[in-house]
Structure formats: C-alpha cells, structure tokens
C-alpha cells in the first residue's frame, strides 16, 4: 500500500486523478474507487465486525431483517441475498458491506462533512478494482469475463453464490470484490455508490489492503487543508442537499453550511 500526505488542493486533485488515462479507450476513465475517512486513525471495519460486535449474529440479523421488512414498499422486487444485504446496509443494519464511491469528490465530502472531525487529519482510500479482481477465485473472475464487467451486480453475484456460506467457501484465502447495489433510491444514484464485501464476516479490509503492493493508495489530508476542501466542495455543489435528496439532506446541508466555524 502506498501512503502519501498531500499539502494543497491542487496536489490533492493531481493524486486523486493520477493514472486515470485509459489508453485503449482514449478517455480518462479510472479503475479506482474511493472512500473518505474523517479521521485518518480510523480503520476500514464494516459495521458487522467493528470491535467484533455482530460477527456471530450475521445470519440472525439478515434473517430478522428479511422477516420484518417484507411488505415494506420496494421490497417485493428483491430476489437475492445480495439485494437484501444492500437494502439492509443502506438503512443502517450492521453488515459486512462497506460503502465506497466511484467519485473522488463524494469521498472528499464524507471526509469533511462532520465539523467535529475537521480538526483531525482525514484520509482518502483509493483502490484499483482491476488489481483486487486478480485475486478473486476462478468462478468470480469467470463471471466478470462473461459479463464483460469490472464490478459485480446482485444478479452476477447470485449466479455464482446464492448465499453467504457458498460465497465464503469460494476460496480459502481472503479476497475483496466490489459490488454495485441496485438503484434503491436517488441517494445511491447521486452518491455513485458501491460496496465492498469480503469472504468472511470477521475479515479485516484494513489488513487486506495494507498487504497489497499494487493498486492501493491512502491519501492523508491534513486538518489544516480540510476547510478549503469543504468550501470548494460546497461551491462545486457536492453537498448533503444533492447526496441525500429530500428534506433530511436539505436540513443537514443548511445546519452545516450556516453553522459557525468552530476552529
């Protein structure tokens, strides 16, 4: 893993978009996905295994969620365990999924959204899914090849592994794949969202990525730079009002935008 501390807004742009030129396409199309962390000391633990709190209850949580969520508008079209896990993650249930985005600016938003963390160095994780895909077990790599895809959908995952035990049994070594959820609502669409998932409820993505020699960058954004990043994101309309459409997002944006600078 490469780690780099940036010192300016311009340097941050250069590093976020580094290597995005795709020669075969003749376009700037990166194969990196991004995750913003408000405090660089925080790790990449999913809510399911954060401090080991829910690891033993993964099946119980999913079974109960499916049981009690049935009949809620929008659940009738969910056909696979991956659809249900995406919905559960989207609404805050502990899962092994972790939120990522194709947009470096959305990642910067989540790094700078909370004012109580603006006095701490933040971090942006950048992961090249072309590199992580090379470590996938054969059936998953073959599914990507057949579909001509780079990341998975729920249907693609379900065709290889219809449940979590089957998925976990695909390989003995840890691996991570990136999964585009169905467009459950405008929030997922506007955030250009996708999830990472590993083949075990207790596995650490932090440890896995830390051992990768290629395709992983961790950018440290000093606290002194965060206010400039935040103000320029607001000017570019990367705000809660856009990323969380509706009155809740509007209120979150207004509370932050008009709030005093605490430090």
135 Cβ contact list (under 8 Å, min separation 6): 173, 175, 176
Q: Is the pLDDT of residue 263 over 80?
A: no
What percent of the chain stands above pLDDT 90? 82
More confident residue, 55 or 256: 256
Taking a C-beta distance cutoff of 8 angstroms, is the pair 34, 104 a contact? yes
Kindly state the average pLDDT of the residues 173-186: 92
Coil vs helix vs strand at 260: coil
158 Cβ contact list (under 8 Å, min separation 6): 79, 80, 81, 82
Kindly state the average pLDDT of the residues 28-54: 90
Q: Kindly report, residue by residue over 154-175, the tens digit of the pLDDT.
A: 999 999 999 999 999 999 999 9
The CA distance from 179 to 239, in Å, is 24
Instruction: Look at residue 223 in the predicted model and tell me its pLDDT.
Output: 97
Pairing of strands 193-198, 176-179: antiparallel
Taking a C-beta distance cutoff of 8 angstroms, is the pair 206, 115 a contact? no
The CA distance from 38 to 242, in Å, is 20
Q: What single string gives the DSSP state of each residue in 108-161?
A: HHHHHS-GGGTTS-EEEEEEEHHHHHTTS-HHHHHHHHHHT-SSB-HHHHHHH-
More confident residue, 233 or 181: 233
Q: How many helices (H) and strands (E) does the chain have?
A: 13, 9
The CA distance from 66 to 80, in Å, is 11
Vertex 148 angle, CA 146 and 153, to 5°: 85
Model confidence, pTM: 0.94
């Amino acid at each position: 893993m490469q780690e780099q501390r940036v010192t300016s807004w311009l340097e941050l742009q250069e590093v976020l978009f580094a290597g995005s030129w795709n020669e075969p396409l003749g376009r700037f199309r990166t194969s990196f996905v991004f995750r913003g962390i408000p405090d660089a000391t925080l790790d990449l633990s999913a809510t399911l295994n954060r401090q080991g709190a829910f690891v033993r209850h993964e099946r119980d949580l999913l079974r109960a969620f499916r049981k009690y969520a049935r009949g809620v508008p929008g659940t009738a079209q969910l056909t696979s365990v991956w659809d249900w896990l995406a919905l559960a993650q989207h609404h805050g249930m502990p899962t092994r999924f972790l939120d990522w985005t194709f947009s470096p600016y959305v990642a910067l938003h989540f790094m700078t959204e909370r004012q109580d963390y603006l006095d701490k160095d933040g971090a942006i994780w950048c992961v090249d899914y072309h590199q992580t895909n090379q470590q996938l077990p054969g059936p998953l790599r073959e599914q990507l090849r057949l579909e001509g895809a780079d990341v998975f959908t729920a249907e693609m995952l379900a065709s290889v592994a219809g449940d979590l035990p089957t998925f976990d049994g695909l390989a003995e070594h840890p691996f991570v794949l990136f999964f585009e959820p169905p467009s459950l609502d405008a929030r997922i669409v506007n955030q250009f969202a996708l999830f990472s998932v590993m083949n075990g409820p207790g596995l650490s993505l932090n440890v896995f990525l830390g051992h990768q020699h290629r395709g992983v960058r961790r950018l440290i954004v000093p606290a002194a730079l965060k206010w400039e990043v935040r103000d320029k994101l607001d000017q570019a309309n990367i705000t809660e009002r856009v990323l969380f459409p509706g009155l809740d997002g509007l209120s979150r944006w207004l509370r932050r935008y008009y709030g005093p600078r605490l430090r």
